[in-house]
Amino acid sequence: METLVINRVEEMYHHPDIALAIGFFDGVHQGHLAVINQMLEIAENKNLKKAVMTFDPHPSVVLNPEKKRTDYLTPLNEKKRIFSALGVDYLFIVPFTSRFAAMSEKDFIRDYLTNNHVKEVIAGFDFTYGKFGKGNMLKLAEDCQGFNVTTVSKKAINEEKVSTTDIREQLKAGHIKRANEQLGRPYKIAGIVVQGEKRGRTIGFPTANVMPDEDYVLPKLGVYAVTLKQNSTEEVYKGVCNIGYKPTFHDPSKSAVSIEVHIFDFSDSIYGERVEVYWHEFLRPEQKFSGIDALIAQINQDKEQAVQILRDIK
């Protein structure tokens, strides 16, 4: 997949004819996948290259500073990995600046679509474009020049619309299964294993401290059944994870959140390795224990519970 960051529109014109899926696509959830899959199918049928256009940062950073979104379900690199795996040929990343946001609908169509060898545009029913987001899919179908427009309808699960906002809320509430259902896969946070306080090994539960390498939405603080993929070996392990401040040892107002995974049946040193943590189920909120023995007893129970939950996951 070729990735182009579009600082000047002319930079994106040097490629063959394309079918283009457009959207912010945070989460690349089931609704987004319906759009991407539709684009892949149309491209295949019409013998066009497969392209995606997305924006960075989230439009709310420019348009709605009070509600600006700086953490993501799928930060940019994560989106790149997913699109590449889906077989996308070209990824256009359009910097979402005030200038871009102020562009007229007609200019957007001319510069970013018609002049960009776009023969097919595929987007979700709620896609908007141009100044004040006044352009919508109906308008796009009216004003299209040199391309066809396909609108992908709302994707729902149990009559609830699949949405990035809802997935974020479910994660923040610890409703991992509901978030995962909408994503169509387990929620994932990728990062590097860093040094911690070296206490884990002394209590019989060494924990890999995972420092996220991008701004991911963090799930509700607490303990989870997880799987962990070690990128260098592609090996996937089961484990139990605490995300929080470790209030037994620290004053939460003075410390940072850490993500710590105790991996079952594992004893390698993996400092500095890149890993992916997949979130499967919330077990309990984080607690302040009166002493180490009480914490150890609870972690033993957490582990047993996680082993049961993960039994059928490979």
Ligand X SMILES: Nc1ncnc2c1ncn2[C@@H]1O[C@H](COP(=O)(O)OP(=O)(O)O)[C@@H](O)[C@H]1O
- Residues with active-site annotation: 260
Rule CB under 6 A: say whether 23 interacts with ligand X.
no
Residues 170-199 that bind ligand FMN (CB under 6 A): 196-199
Instruction: Tell me if 218 sits within 8 A of 302, measured CB to CB.
Output: no
Rule CB under 6 A: say whether 193 interacts with ligand X.
yes
Q: How far apart are CA 132 and CA 173, in angstroms?
A: 32
Q: How far apart are CA 278 and CA 183, in angstroms?
A: 12
Query: Which among ligand FMN, ligand X, none contacts residue 240 (Cβ within 5 to 8 A by kind)?
Result: ligand FMN
Query: Which among ligand FMN, ligand X, none contacts residue 223 (Cβ within 5 to 8 A by kind)?
Result: ligand FMN
Q: How many residues bind ligand X (CB under 6 A)?
A: 20
Strands 18-22 and 118-124 turn out to be: parallel
Exposed e or buried b per residue across 276-295, where buried means at least 16 C-beta atoms within 10 angstroms of its C-beta: bbbbbbbbeebeebeeeeeb
Q: Please report the DSSP string for 72-124 in residue order.
A: BSS-HHHHHHHHHHHT-SEEEEEE--HHHHT--HHHHIIIIIGGGTEEEEEEE
Among residues 29, 155, 262, 280, which is the contact residue for ligand X, using CB under 6 A? 262
Rule CB under 6 A: say whether 152 interacts with ligand FMN.
no
Among residues 148, 163, 209, 298, which is the contact residue for ligand X, using CB under 6 A? 209
Cβ distance to ligand X smaller for residue 179 or 275: 275
Rule CB under 6 A: say whether 105 interacts with ligand FMN.
no
Region from 71-79, 89-97, 194-202, 216-224 binding ligand X, contact rule CB under 6 A: 194-202
Bridge partners (DSSP) of residue 124 are 152
Binding footprint of ligand X on the chain (CB under 6 A): 193, 195-201, 206-209, 262-263, 266-271
